[in-house]
Amino acid sequence: MKGQASMAGAGKEDRTRPGDAVVRPRDTMAEHVAALIRKRSAAGELITAAEIPDLWEVEYPSFPDADGSGEDIAGILTRLVHENEDLHKLSGAGSPCYYSDLHMTAAYAQIVLHKQEGPLRLIAETVRQNSREYQRPVALDIFTQPPFNLEYNQVRDYLSIMTAMAGYGDIATTSSSASRIYLYSTAHLEREHAVMLAEWLDVGQAHNP
Amino acid sequence: MSGYGGWAGKVLRVDLSTGRIWTEDTIDRYKEFLGGTGIGYKVMWDEVPAGTKPYDPENRIIFGVGPLAGTGAPCNGRTAITTLWPTCWPIPLVASGHMGGQFAAKLKYAGYDAIVIQGKAARPVWLMIVDQKVEIHDARRIWGQGIRGATAAIAEIMGQDAVVAAIGQAGENLVPMSVVMNAVSHSAGGVGSVMGSKNLKAIGVRGTGSIRIAGKKGDWEKLIKYHLSLLGGNNQHVVPNSPQPWAEFYDPKSRWNASRGKRWGAAAHLVDTGTCAPRETNRIAYRSNTAAFFLGDNLWKHTVRGNGCTSCPIRCHTMLKVPAVAAKYGIPAVGQNTCVGLFFGSAFFKKLPDGPRGETSLEACMVGMHLADDLGVWCNYGQLQRDFIKLYYDGVIKKKLGSREFNSYSWNRYEQGDPAFLFELLPRIAGKEGELGTALGLGTGHMLERWGLSEEEWGKDKDLSYWKMGHPKHHASEEAGQCGLLINLMYNRDAQCHSHTNFLRNGLPLPLQKKLAAELWGAPEAVDGMGDYKPMHPAKARMAKWSLLRKELHDSLSLCNWMGPWVASPLRERGYRGDDSIESMLYKLATGDDKDREEMDKVGERIFLLHRALTIRGMGTKEMRDRHDRIPAWVFADKAGKPPFTKGTTRLDRDDVRVALDMLYDELGWDRATGAPTRETYRKFGLDGVAAALAKRNLVPP
Ligand code: SF4
């Protein structure tokens, strides 16, 4: 048996603790944009390039226009991601989004991104990720909880829509013996495995407390 | 007493037959067995001959705590109670029950590492311990009372800072399915009637001393902070149950189920549990709500707070307030418990009017909790309720009871899921009333024998969860493949081992678990995906051995094996590694005994080996592989007929399990043919005397 990591890290500051103020000089436009990204991340949201000019007006009314600085926003964002360890670009179905990992992990940012892309994609990508990375089906009702916050019946309606739409053919359902609906992706989980896992998660674990 | 820290230094001895009270030096006699189950097994080996019965005055009941009890080490509040097990079938063998609460710490503060009780009092008594003052008191006034009343009566005498471990009517009436309980809800199942057989109603302890830490204060504080930084939620689940901005991973089945917006709705002032992020170590107590985990999110509004054992920030005994039950059932509106203790009542019902997570279910939980925790009835990890449902719906109860007794129960009420039915059933189990009350109180093995039912048949039904020797599985092959199976073979009651399952259910994705497993047990093959089992591998045997030794170490140090070990952590910056040396680091600093992880593992192995030796001596055979390490048939079956090692089944393969046993025996230095430890193995762990005694009876393999 190999030894594990030492006590190093005990008492180290948590980089991801939400609410921590990140103090940086704000004397350039790029730094202001970086601060905007971080602020949005702290609120659990992503930011797109297109949103920046509007936000800019509210946050920094005394500064020159965001798009009148000589360096366009896209250029600033590229530079920021390159120069700041905590800032990241996320590409999805729509425009690229930006976030700071001081306030949210990449995994969480992906969920927020899918949320912005609409409920069908949110449901499908969450189901796929669970089947792929964790080898598990997910109960339909997790989508009624934060950060998804959908209505139960809405989710059922979205699932009906998905069955008739291209691009969602892998999203499948099964029910536990306690009638709880579980979702999985056939691209990553075999049906019999998903059926067994749904039963284990909903009923079996209750018998194995 | 030497200069060691950690230990209190004395073991308290009480002979209830003669009234003699004396002490022994812990270090002289028991240091190599640490405390807890270690002291328990040692006393049982030295003093209780084979053939002794649980209720014989010669049987001992040992309340053992460890060198970490009462210190600042996280989760250190566990007392191990070792004795001959009344529900172990067909013959009683050694086993231990474990209670948390405040008993372990108070016993240490009073100056004792263990209490060994022998003999039988001529009339009901209770034991009062106030530091060096130890007295046997008349208990006739409290005999016949429930645990609540007895505790209150003794607390009135001893003061509010005393802790009382008491039995209820079930223990007094020698019902094998009975508990001893302290601090409202912290019980050890299976041992209540052994106290009852000695006419011992309760033990009250008040301690005004302290525990000396051998290491430097600063080092100790740093270590405690480090340990806290590795803690996850309940059962060491290291990811939250829903996506959180701070988390890379989540698992809807994680017991780390609090987050911003989740509120203790019945607290005096509404409490929001907050972000509950890993580095917020002063807020660990907000991370887990056991009641909401088991009974549904509806429970948040009934939550007053978490309660728990000494020095444990997890506080898994959720305190609930359900005002409706006070008027409806005449029980207090507030109750607390954890795990199977929480749903003791609802688990009796196959159907409840508004489902398993509705209000009626909650009411059944409250009624069950109050009745069982006062009468002192044990559920045998839910086997009592599973047996009851099967016996009723299979028509066995009707067949076995005379019509008069059968009709004295409101079966309509039962079938409709009315919690009030529990008022008819539970007192009759505690009072050994009638055929049904008596049979259910015996425990599964003896009940089956009494009613002429086949244990083998019980072992075919996976949903019954029955394992062997009168007890159920406890995280066996159904969730942990060969590793879980091997662990469950080893004990004389349900295994109560969480070392493996706390790792497997920690919520990290499988590739990450495999990475950690490779570091810990030598190969990623140590762990499989759920329902995607692979053939036996040596790393699985190493994981099983490690799990067993950690359990014995925890039980002997007073650490909580429901929380530990801490080999995974919620810390991303550590690659989610925990620390496999945390037990030895705590032990070394607390006691001053310079033992590293490997040396501590040896101590754990010595303790586990002694348990095996006691089992061999008790059974009078060395043929453990065939006669003790038995496997129920459901392990090798699949309802849909799926073959082993195909996705979607937890079915195991008989030949593969034979290999698994060979590998575990090899790891432990036990003989493959018999499953008995070799003479060389006993010698290696300093148990030459044990080997010699067994050899005289031909109980050591050639
Ligand atoms: S996790 Fe629960 S049982 Fe274990 S020490 Fe903490 S409160 Fe006690």
A12 contact residues in B (CB cutoff 8 A): 573
Mean pLDDT is lowest, of A16-30, A128-142, B415-429, B666-680, for A16-30
Of B206, B230, B260, the residue that ends a domain is B206
Of A110, A143, A160, the residue that ends a domain is A110
What tokens appear for A106 in the block?
């990449």
Residue B107 lies in a domain: yes
Mean pLDDT of A107-125: 96
Does A196 sit within 8 Å of B649, measured CB to CB? yes
State the Cα–Cα distance between residues B120 and B419, nearest whole angstrom.
Answer: 38
A141 and A79 inside one domain = no
Residue A12 predicted with pLDDT over 50:
no
Longest dimension (CA), chain B: 70
pLDDT over 90, % of chain B: 99
Sign of CA dihedral A135, A140, A145, A146: positive
How does residue A32 score in pLDDT terms, banded at 50, 70 and 90?
confident
Distance from CA of B17 to the nearest CA of A (A): 40
A137 and A61 inside one domain = no
A89 and A60 inside one domain = yes
Burial class (CB in 10 A: 0-12, 13-18, 19+), B214: middle
A29 and A55 inside one domain = yes
Give the 3-state secondary structure of residue B532. Answer: strand
B505 and B409 inside one domain = no
How does residue A13 score in pLDDT terms, banded at 50, 70 and 90?
very low
> What pLDDT is attached to residue B172?
98
Q: Write out pLDDT tens, residues A55-104.
A: 877 777 766 665 555 568 888 999 999 999 999 999 987 889 999 999 99
> What pLDDT is attached to residue A15?
45
B650 contact residues in A (CB cutoff 8 A): 196
> What pLDDT is attached to residue A65?
62
Residue B280 lies in a domain: no
> What pLDDT is attached to residue A64?
63
What CATH number has the domain bearing residue A95?
Answer: 1.10.10.10
Q: Is the CB of B313 under 6 A from ligand 1?
A: no
Instruction: Output the 3-class SS for B550-610.
Output: HHHHHHHHCCCCCCCCCCECCCHHHCCECCCCHHHHHHHHHHCCCCCHHHHHHHHHHHHHH
Residue B63 predicted with pLDDT over 70:
yes
B198 and B333 inside one domain = no
What CATH number has the domain bearing residue A129?
Answer: 1.10.10
List, in order, residues 6 or more apart from B367 with CB less than 8 Å away.
B325, B329, B331, B345, B419, B420, B422, B423
> Any idea what DSSP says for residue B487?
H
State the Cα–Cα distance between residues B206 and B183, nearest whole angstrom.
Answer: 13
Residue B567 predicted with pLDDT over 80:
yes
A142 and A200 inside one domain = yes
Residue B21 lies in a domain: yes
> Any idea what DSSP says for residue A68?
G
Ligand 1 centroid from CA B40, angstroms = 21
Phi, psi angles (nearest 5°) of residue A117: -80, -5
Owning domain of residue A177: 118-207
Owning domain of residue B296: 290-466
B462 and B476 inside one domain = no
> What pLDDT is attached to residue A29?
82
Residue B228 lies in a domain: no
B503 and B629 inside one domain = yes
Does B577 sit within 8 Å of A16, measured CB to CB? no
Using alpha carbons, select from B661, B679, B666, B663 the residue that is nearest to residue B624: B661
Mean pLDDT of A184-207: 95
Residue B670 lies in a domain: yes
Phi, psi angles (nearest 5°) of residue B253: -100, 15
Does B521 sit within 8 Å of A1, measured CB to CB? yes
Work out the angle at residue A162's Cα, subtended by the Cα atoms of residues A159 and A167, and round it to the nearest 5 degrees: 145
Does A108 sit within 8 Å of B247, measured CB to CB? yes
CB environment A87-106: b (16+ within 10 A), e (fewer)? bbeeeeeeebbbbbbbbbbe
Residue B258 predicted with pLDDT over 90:
yes
> What pLDDT is attached to residue B128?
98
User: What's chain A's average pLDDT?
Assistant: 85
> What pLDDT is attached to residue B576?
98
Task: Write the residue in B252, B261, B465 that is nearest to A207 by C-beta.
Answer: B465
> What pLDDT is attached to residue B69?
98
B383 and B448 inside one domain = yes
A79 and A148 inside one domain = no
> What pLDDT is attached to residue A63?
64
The total number of structural domains that make up chain B:
3
B318 and B449 inside one domain = yes
List, in order, residues 6 or more apart from B482 with CB less than 8 Å away.
B533, B536, B540, B541, B544, B652, B656, B657, B660
Residue A198 lies in a domain: yes
How does residue B4 score in pLDDT terms, banded at 50, 70 and 90?
very high
The total number of structural domains that make up chain A:
2
B25 and B149 inside one domain = yes
A9 contact residues in B (CB cutoff 8 A): 229, 571, 573-574
Q: Which amino acid is located at B195 in the chain?
A: M
The CA distances from residue B577 to B508, B528, B580, in Å, are: 11, 19, 9
A196 and A154 inside one domain = yes
Q: Write out pLDDT tens, residues B84-131.
A: 999 999 999 999 999 999 999 999 999 999 999 999 999 999 999 999
Higher-scoring residue by pLDDT: B247, A62: B247
> What pLDDT is attached to residue A19?
44
A33 and A106 inside one domain = yes
Mean pLDDT of B370-386: 98
State the Cα–Cα distance between residues B314 and B293, nearest whole angstrom.
Answer: 14
B381 and B475 inside one domain = no
What CATH number has the domain bearing residue B398?
Answer: 1.10.569.10
Residue B180 lies in a domain: yes
Of A110, A145, A167, the residue that ends a domain is A110
Q: Is the CB of B8 under 6 A from ligand 1?
A: no
B406 and B480 inside one domain = no
B148 and B180 inside one domain = yes
Of A110, A145, A169, the residue that ends a domain is A110
On the CB side of B689, CA atoms within 13 Å amount to 6
A100 and A131 inside one domain = no
**Cα R_g (chain A), whole angstroms:** 21
ipTM of the complex: 0.95
> What pLDDT is attached to residue A59?
77
State the Cα–Cα distance between residues B159 and B149, nearest whole angstrom.
Answer: 15
> What pLDDT is attached to residue A67?
55
Contact A85, B225 (CB under 8 A): no
Residue A95 lies in a domain: yes
Residue A47 predicted with pLDDT over 70:
yes
Residue B272 contacts A, CB cutoff 8 Å: no
Residue B217 lies in a domain: no
